């Protein structure tokens, strides 16, 4: 219920000064929610859990070049706990996944941070490509000045993010290909530093390079790309399943509309939308209502269900895992912070030690 309350508050904030507010009725939202088609919602639920399993397999392919035979179970639990931490704690929870996996797989934390960075790059490219394809296959007719400006910002933002991502990808490829030479150059250049500091920096650089080994392994690179492809097909399908469950105008929307809406929701987390602010819910509302002309109550219902299906299944399963392993979100956050501090100060992190 707390999730619903937060989402409804964001919807109220979106509509309270909108011209649509006069025609908006909460009763209509509630009616749509309680009459949603269960079979489509079950499909969305299954797709939600499948995305975390795919993320676990993708992480395994990232690790295979330097740690073959990583446990998919550990990686799956790490995905569930990590994303739950992000949902409940916010961005400080980002390091829970690499910290948890590093400790239970007994690998350097720096290598898992490198994998986390690779994952962010894969997903950023996927979102940019999804927006480009969605705008190509689905005619866009913005409704009002805010929508036109938002769409323009999305184009500009996606191009900027994709360009920056490609630059980072090129830099990472160059670093991995020439890591030995670069590490040797760094060791000679910083000879004035104490031996202990130089040793720590060298170990850190090698651990980070290990996490990028998938770049030099065509088999695992291809597998990780295929995982990403299926992952984002499922991510979009979750939105589309929700639309089908609610019926009416939403059921008429194409799969590509669901893809563009997902991009708006994702970009809403990092971009300031004109007149609306940021946020996953606000980004999705903007796309549905002002870009694809979905009635306000139907758009609000879709956003409520989307966010519930993203957050609740993950957090619910995370609670089960936490109870089984005798952990709490506070302990996970402390573990991630300990790893971060150890990495920053050159200490011995728990990742390579005992569990």
Task: Report whether 253 contacts 306 (CB < 8 A).
Answer: no
Per the structure block, which two tokens stand in for 272? 């300031």
- What's residue 273's pLDDT? 42
Torsion angle of C-alpha atoms 109, 115, 119, 125, degrees rounded to 10 = 130
- What's residue 76's pLDDT? 97
CA 86 – CA 91 distance, rounded (Å)? 6
pTM summary value: 0.79
Burial environment of residue 28 by CB neighbours within 10 A (0 to 12, 13 to 18, 19 or more) = middle
Lowest mean pLDDT of 12-16, 118-122, 145-149, 153-157, name the range: 12-16
Per-residue pLDDT band at 301 (split at 50, 70, 90): confident
Whether the pLDDT of residue 169 is over 80: the answer is: no
Whether the pLDDT of residue 24 is over 60: the answer is: no
Average pLDDT over every residue of 150-155:
68
What single DSSP character describes residue 20?
G
CA 355 – CA 335 distance, rounded (Å)? 11
CA 188 – CA 314 distance, rounded (Å)? 48
Average pLDDT over every residue of 12-16:
48
CA 154 – CA 165 distance, rounded (Å)? 16
Average pLDDT over every residue of 19-33:
54
Averaged confidence pLDDT in the chain: 80
Lowest mean pLDDT of 22-31, 182-191, 322-331, name the range: 22-31
Whether the pLDDT of residue 7 is over 70: the answer is: no
Contacts of 309 (CB under 8 A, 6+ apart): 41, 44, 45, 48, 238, 242
Per-residue pLDDT band at 14 (split at 50, 70, 90): very low
Average pLDDT over every residue of 296-317:
87
Whether the pLDDT of residue 164 is over 70: the answer is: yes
CA 355 – CA 345 distance, rounded (Å)? 21
* More confident position, 226 or 179: 226
Contacts of 128 (CB under 8 A, 6+ apart): 158, 159, 161, 162, 165
Contacts of 109 (CB under 8 A, 6+ apart): 98, 99, 102, 207, 339, 342, 343, 349, 351, 352
- What's residue 197's pLDDT? 72
Lowest mean pLDDT of 8-12, 57-61, 72-76, 226-230, name the range: 8-12
CA 105 – CA 68 distance, rounded (Å)? 11
- What's residue 282's pLDDT? 78
CA distances from 17 to 4, 14, 59, 302, 348 (A): 21, 7, 44, 21, 54
Average pLDDT over every residue of 196-202:
74
Whether the pLDDT of residue 296 is over 90: the answer is: no
CA 149 – CA 136 distance, rounded (Å)? 18
Per-residue pLDDT band at 23 (split at 50, 70, 90): very low
CA neighbor of 257 nearest in space, from 226, 312, 307, 299: 299
Average pLDDT over every residue of 79-90:
88
- What's residue 98's pLDDT? 94
CA 228 – CA 123 distance, rounded (Å)? 7
Task: Report whether 102 contacts 108 (CB < 8 A).
Answer: yes
- What's residue 65's pLDDT? 85
Lowest mean pLDDT of 242-246, 256-260, 350-354, name the range: 350-354
Report the share of the chain in percent with pLDDT over 70. Answer: 79
Per the structure block, which two tokens stand in for 50? 């499948």
Reduce the secondary structure of 159-215 to three states and give it as a string: HHHHHHHHHHHHHHHHHHHCHHHHHHHHHHHCCCCCHHHHHHHHHHHHHHHHHCHHH
- What's residue 321's pLDDT? 95
Task: Report whether 261 contacts 287 (CB < 8 A).
Answer: yes
pLDDT digit string, tens, across residues 217-245? 788 888 999 999 999 999 999 999 999 99
pLDDT digit string, tens, across residues 103-113? 999 998 888 98
CA 122 – CA 126 distance, rounded (Å)? 6
């Amino acid at each position: 219920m707390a999730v619903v309350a937060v989402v409804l508050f964001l919807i109220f904030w979106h509509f309270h000064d909108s011209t649509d507010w006069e025609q908006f009725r909460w009763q209509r939202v509630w009616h749509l929610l309680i009459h949603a088609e269960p079979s489509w919602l079950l499909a969305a639920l299954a797709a939600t859990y499948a995305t975390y399993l795919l993320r676990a397999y993708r992480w395994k392919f990232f690790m295979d070049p330097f740690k073959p035979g990583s446990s998919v179970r550990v990686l799956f639990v790490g995905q569930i706990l990590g994303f739950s931490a992000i949902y409940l704690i916010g961005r400080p929870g980002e390091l829970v996944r690499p910290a948890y996996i590093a400790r239970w797989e007994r690998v350097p934390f720096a290598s898992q941070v490198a994998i986390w960075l690779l994952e962010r790059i894969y997903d950023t490219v996927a979102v940019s490509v999804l927006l480009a394809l969605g705008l190509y296959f689905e005619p866009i007719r913005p409704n009002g000045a805010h929508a036109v400006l938002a769409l323009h910002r999305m184009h500009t933002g996606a191009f900027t993010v994709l360009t920056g991502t490609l630059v980072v990808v090129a830099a990472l490829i160059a670093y991995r290909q020439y890591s030995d030479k670069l590490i040797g150059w760094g060791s000679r250049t910083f000879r004035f530093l104490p031996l202990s500091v130089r040793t720590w920096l060298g170990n850190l650089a090698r651990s980070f390079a290990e996490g990028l080994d998938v770049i030099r392994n065509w088999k695992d690179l291809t597998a990780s790309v295929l995982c990403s492809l299926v992952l984002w097909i499922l991510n979009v399908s979750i939105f589309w399943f929700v639309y089908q469950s609610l019926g009416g105008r939403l059921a008429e929307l194409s799969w590509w509309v669901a893809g563009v809406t997902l991009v708006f929701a994702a970009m809403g987390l990092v971009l300031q939308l004109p007149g609306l602010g940021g946020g996953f819910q606000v980004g999705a509302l903007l796309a549905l209502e002002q870009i694809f002309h979905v009635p306000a109550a139907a758009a609000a219902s879709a956003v409520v269900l989307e966010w519930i299906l993203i957050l609740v299944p993950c957090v619910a399963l995370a609670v089960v895992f936490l109870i089984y392993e005798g952990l709490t979100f506070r302990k996970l956050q402390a573990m991630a912070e300990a790893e971060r501090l150890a990495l920053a100060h050159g200490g011995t992190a728990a990742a390579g030690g005992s569990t």
